[in-house]
Amino acid sequence: MHLLVLTDRPGGGKSLLPSLEYLDHTVQDAPLDASSLGGLSGCDVVVVDATGDLREAAGACRSASLHELARPTLVVMSEGGLAALKASWGFDEWLLPQASPAELETRLRIIGDRAAAQRPQRAANVGDLVVDEDSYQVRLRGVPLDLTYKEFELLKTLAGSPNRVFTRELLLQEVWGYDYFGGARTVDVHIRRVRAKLGPEYESMIGTVRGVGYKLVPPGTRRRSDGDD
């Protein structure tokens, strides 16, 4: 895990939690201030030092829980300050500074698993086809397809809006980016490869709209004379 530790201690996170020396986690130290939450995008867990300034610690916890990139929060609290710890802070777990490596590892795993379980599943389901953004896996009737990264991104884009017609130019932008210098022929080549991997029974899910582009058609809704191949 990558830990964002909000503390004003001179020794940083490993001074706050000495057990971190024995665990395989990366630690990013930042001041105990809500402005430090700019580092949330790259972290898995926020660790807040509440062994000193309780007001700042409470504010940092609340800001982390309300942030658009909310991450699970672990509060490190001295035994003497436990009476001040309140659920309104918005933290997920608390820990004493002298916690053993085993206890620290267990708490981190628990809040990480809990956050993963509560995270909305990012998956598109189109008939027997499931496109899972979190695992970067496409399953057809429960069987994973062996797709390259670009093939996955192409199918994910189409599956995100079934029946929508995507022009080749739009697919180039969505999958390859604005700075890609290849031509629209690249899209055609990848479409053929994806169809081949879907197999004879399902290749027709990707319809061609002549002169425009492609669309993903859910089974059972095909087909009007719109120029599809």
Structure confidence by residue, pLDDT tens digits, 118-137: 665 566 788 889 988 877 88
Phi, psi of 25 (to 5 degrees): -130, 145
Helix, strand, or coil here: 123?
Answer: strand
91 pLDDT exceeds 70?
yes
Q: Give pLDDT, residue 119.
A: 62
Q: Given this model, what pLDDT does residue 217 score? A: 92
The span from the CA of 70 to the CA of 63, in Å, is 9
Indicate whether 223 pLDDT > 70. no
Within 67-221, where are the H helices? 101-118, 149-160, 168-171, 185-198
Check the CA dihedral 63-5-80-92 and report its sign.
Answer: positive
Write the CA distances from 155 to 85, 158, 205, 207, integer angstroms: 48, 5, 11, 12
Q: Report the mean per-residue pLDDT for the chain.
A: 87
Neighbours of 138 (CB within 10 A): 24
Given a cut of 80, whether residue 220 has pLDDT beyond it is: no
Stretch 176-188: mean pLDDT, rounded? 79
> Region 14-35: what's the mean pLDDT?
93
* Model pLDDT, residue 204: 93
Q: Which pLDDT value is given to residue 178?
A: 64
pLDDT of residue 185: 87
123-216 under CATH 1.10.10.10, yes or no: yes
In eight-state DSSP terms, residue 224 is -
Note the pLDDT of residue 4: 93
Pick the CATH number of 2-118 from 3.40.50.1010, 3.10.20.30, 3.40.50.2300, 3.40.50.300: 3.40.50.2300
Task: Please determine, for residue 81, whether its predicted confidence score (pLDDT) is greater than 50.
Answer: yes
Q: What is the pLDDT of residue 228?
A: 47
Q: Kindly state the percentage of the chain with pLDDT values over 70.
A: 91
Pull the structure tokens for residue 78: 């001295």
Average pLDDT over residues 154-178: 88
Q: Phi and psi for 150 in degrees, rounded to 5?
A: -65, -40
pLDDT over 60 at 138, yes or no:
yes
Structure tokens at 98: 């002298």
Domain spans in the chain, listed from the N-terminal domain onward? 2-118, 123-216
> Would you say residue 173 has pLDDT above 80?
yes
Name the residue with higher pLDDT: 108 or 221. 108
pLDDT of 179: 64
Of residues 228 and 188, the one with the higher pLDDT is: 188
Q: Residue 34 has what pLDDT?
A: 85
Q: In this prediction, what percent of the chain has a pLDDT beyond 90?
A: 55
pLDDT digits (tens, 9 = 90+) for 37-77: 887 877 889 999 999 999 999 999 999 888 877 789 999 99
Topology agreement, domain 2-118 and domain 123-216: no
CA 94 to chain centre: 24
Which is nearest to 191 in space by CA: 177, 173, 205, 178?
205
